[in-house]
Amino acid sequence: EFAVLCLTELKGEVESTRAVLIFLAQLVGWREVRLGDAKMAKLSQHANSIDNLLARFGENLTLCCLRALAGGAPQSTWPAYSDCLFCIMLQVITSAPSSVADPNSSLNAWLRAAMAEVTTRHVTQEITATVIRALLEMIAAEGAKSK
């Protein structure tokens, strides 16, 4: 919870924002990070807690990342924001593969809500739906390699 609050309150401080995003991306995407056996075992013990926190804060994190990528943050932080967003999407898709095809899934709802807030008059709902569908299908098909 503290990391999510830090991310929303840093308001553009580049190095601190980047550090929080790296932490969140690795925490959310811990299953894809190469760690020692002891660390993986420890994280596995807390997998449900991590997944519950993602379910609780995923919508806010998704919105925060998309706002930043739409120009609401310094360009130098965009790679960290995109990595964090990718880890969120990969984790949700990995734990619930049906979320890709289900337009009512939480991940689809998070992305639609975030895209609705950051889109301009040049981006229609049809374009938004196409972008979301393409992202989700690519991640579902290729997993971490799609990054």
pLDDT digits (tens, 9 = 90+) for 121-130: 667 778 888 8
pTM passes above 0.85 = no
Distance of alpha carbon 12 from alpha carbon 109, whole angstroms: 26
Distance of alpha carbon 62 from alpha carbon 84, whole angstroms: 9
Is the pLDDT at 79 greater than 90? The verdict is yes
Distance of alpha carbon 78 from alpha carbon 18, whole angstroms: 9
